[in-house]
Copies of this chain bind each other. A is one copy, B any other.
């Protein structure tokens, strides 16, 4: 049997290390000599629907190696969700048509929970449409909410960025608090779970040291209690450092960030839980404040990526190819923790049928009883994930990140209208 080609797509929000996964996958496929070409979807799965397939075999070995230290999504990603095949099978039929036209026998989908669900469906529908495809889901999400895998590639690097940034900014505030800024607020990602906010807690070196307050989506925000805690912290420590998840919310579920702020034109101003808290603190307590919103900086900060995370991101890409070549389908490689101290891990696997639509939430035991900090258990879990530095190469003072040529394969099919 001739070697069949592979299709790889990046899905959802990109990370500092999703390209390291692509690197592991492509390098392993190339060196196996058992797989044909790896085609990457231009802008993710949309690229498959549009038959916009990037021929990665035309990229140099150096360029592919450079993916290991380049943030963002080198082939483009998307937030496109395929229609439910029980209601409308047309997109799946199109995917199979494209796969058939380009002799694609392997489907690799690199993303979060939705993507694992899609990868699972493709593994089923290929057979149904008489074109069996080996379908492998590859974990990726800064939200760290995929089940079974001990952690999600992408998360460790955000965690490291947040912990480093909080430690640094805290030193700044501590220096200024006598006569100036008393409260510093850093807003971090994590709409549904507090994993990223929790990682800010790693910056804490002493029980009374910064960060003094972490606000998690898991703990209903109590304005009065919070303001009391801020006030007591400033009284005792002279300043207060707060890490807040973008998903922090009141008991009734309202996000703090949606507190009804309007701009000069009367439009509702979305986002910005940090400025919302700052305004609250200023109004009620009168403290001078500063706030930061890291936004994309946190998930693209390859310059301060966790070496552990980079290695794991590469490993799941590599494992995906190995699974596929071993004839496994409908599985996802996972990180299995063997011990925390010293940290040891290996790659395992889990059937996609078990992964789809299951979200891993942060255990309540990771948050201190008062709701404002992380426990020793959380620290034991988080610390290994930020270990090691994996600096990119610099040129002229800036990281040298690769840009691929991204040449498309010639199309063989008529356009598919639905994908634009």
Contacts and interface: CB of A to CB of B under 8 A. Distances in A.
A419 to B, nearest CB: 10
Given A72-B174, A175-B73, A294-B297, A168 B261 contact: no
Determine which residue in A184, A292, A388 has the highest number of CB atoms from chain B within 10 A of its CB, and name it. A292
Interface in A389-416: 389, 391, 394, 396-399, 401
A300 B269 contact: no
Contact of A398 (B171, B203, B259): B203
A199 B76 CA distance: 27
A272 interface: yes
Interface stretch (A131-139, A225-233, A301-309): A301-309
Given A43-B179, A71-B171, 8 more contacts: A14-B171, A72-B175, A160-B397, A163-B398, A164-B399, A172-B299, A260-B263, A267-B283
A178 B46 contact: yes
B292 A294 contact: yes
Interface in A161-187: 163-165, 167-169, 171-176, 178-180, 184, 186
A406 to B, nearest CB: 11
A291 B16 CA distance: 18
A346 interface: no
A77 B176 contact: yes
Interface in A251-308: 259-265, 267, 269, 271-272, 274-276, 278-279, 282-283, 290-297, 299-304, 306
A386 interface: yes
Contacts of A260: 263-264
Interface string A30-63: 0000000000000110100000000000000000
A175 B176 CA distance: 39
A76 B172 CA distance: 9
Contact of A391 (B167, B179, B267, B389): B389
A297 B292 contact: yes
A78 interface: yes
B79 A176 contact: yes
A124 interface: no
A383 interface: yes
Contacts of A291: 271, 293, 295
A203 to B, nearest CB: 7
Given A167-B401, A271-B275, A399-B167, A176 B78 contact: yes
A392 B78 CA distance: 36
Nearest 5 interchain pairs by C-beta: A72-B171, A73-B175, A386-B397, A292-B295, A43-B178
Nearest to A43: B178
A174 B180 CA distance: 39
A5 interface: no
